Structures are given as C-alpha cells and as structure tokens.
Amino acid sequence: MTKPREDIGMMFQDPTLLPWKTSLENVLFPVKILRRDREKYESLAKDLLTRVGLDQFFDKKPAQLSGGMRQRVAICRALVYDPDVLLMDEPFSALDAISRDEMNQVLMDLWQDFKKTGLFVTHSIREAVFLSDRVLVMSARPGRIIEDLEIPFERPRDFAISDTPEFNEICAYLRSKIDSQH
C-alpha cells in the first residue's frame, strides 16, 4: 500500500475513535486523511450521525458516549467517504445483548440506504443470519470454509424475523456445522 484505500471502509471490534475529537470530527477523520474537502462532507457526516440517533451528540467526545454510541460513530466514519466495501471485524462483540441487537438493526437500516458490500466477521450465529445474504462457516485451525449458505430472507428485514421457525432452523443448522468441527 502506498496511500489510504478509498474503496474500503473498516470497522473494528473497538471503535478506535480519537479521544480528543468530537463525534463529528471522528466521522470526518477519513475525509481529512484522504485529503478531501471537509465542507463537502460535513452535511453528510451530520446526516449519518442523525440517522443512527446521534443528532444531539455531534460535539461529544468518545468518553461522553456509551459503547453503542461509539460504535454508531464508527459506522458513520466507515461510510462517510462512500467506500465500495465495508469490512467489519466483530464490531458489536463488546456490547451488551440489547445494544448489540440495536446495532444490528441500525446496520440493517443503513444497508438499505447505502447498499454496500460488506464482509462481517462474527461469532454470533443469530447476528450472521440476521445481517447476511450469505454465511460462510469456517473450521477450527487450520481455518477453511466448511459451509457456504445463502440466507433466504428478503430485505428489508425486521428483527422480528429472528423469532420465526425458519430463522431458528437455519441457526440450528449452522450450529451443527460448527459443532461438527469440535
């Protein structure tokens, strides 16, 4: 690599926000790194923060936000410069169950608006089935693909789908694939 990638957005397990910057400044940080005109992106950054419920928190620093709020800022930061692909490495793993469910719905809603290709790494089977169009299951070491399953649910999806028998059957099937490796 010789310069920052403009085609890939990244979201980590930890939000990796800069503690001395506000929510808005953190969202706009990639714009600065990519040497783009801040003024052209400021309204989009504010719109993204508003869409994820943080319109009252533009001027708050990470220490003033909950874990779920920090992850919402991180999602906005990954999307603000309109990358083609969004890579997410267990971005909600440190959140409590309720916040995690809320973040899954936020991500689903953002996908509806932005239609980005995403690669989402998770250890949560239910999260994978809810968010994905396709789930790849990896074996234990050495890691290799042991299942490639298309998820049959139409979009947009509501979280209530997770209570359906079909959803739970898919989760059980994927669990059996994982269990067969241990």
If you search the block for the tokens 């790494």, which residue do you land on?
121
Same domain, 81 and 160: no
pLDDT category, 81, cuts 50, 70, 90?
very high
Alpha-carbon distance of 145 to 136, in angstroms, equals: 6
Q: Do 53 and 75 belong to one domain?
A: yes
pLDDT at residue 182 above 80? no
The rounded distance, in Å, linking the Cα atoms of 45 and 172 is: 39
- Which domain-ending residue is among 68, 94, 121? 121
Mean pLDDT of the chain: 92
> Quick one: pLDDT band at residue 92, thresholds 50, 70, 90?
confident
Site of tokens 């957005």: 9
Q: Summarize pLDDT for 96-139 with one digit per residue, the tens.
A: 888 888 888 888 888 888 888 999 999 999 999 999 999 999 98
**Claim to verify: residue 5 and residue 60 sit in the same structural domain:** yes
| 88, 140: one domain | no
| Residues 143 and 153 occupy one common structural domain | yes
CATH code of residue 81: 3.40.50.300
For residues 67 and 78, state if they share a domain.
yes
Q: Which domain holds residue 24?
A: 1-121
pLDDT at position 20 is 98
- Which residue among 73, 105, 121 closes a domain? 121
Choose among 154, 151, 156: nearest CA to 127: 151
The reply to whether 116 and 44 lie within a common domain is yes
One domain for residues 101 and 143: no
Q: Taking each helix axis from N to C terminus, what angle separates 97-114 and 38-51, rounded to the nearest 10 degrees?
A: 130
Asked if 3 and 78 sit in the same domain, the reply is yes
Please give the Cα distance from 96 to 118 (Å, whole number).
23
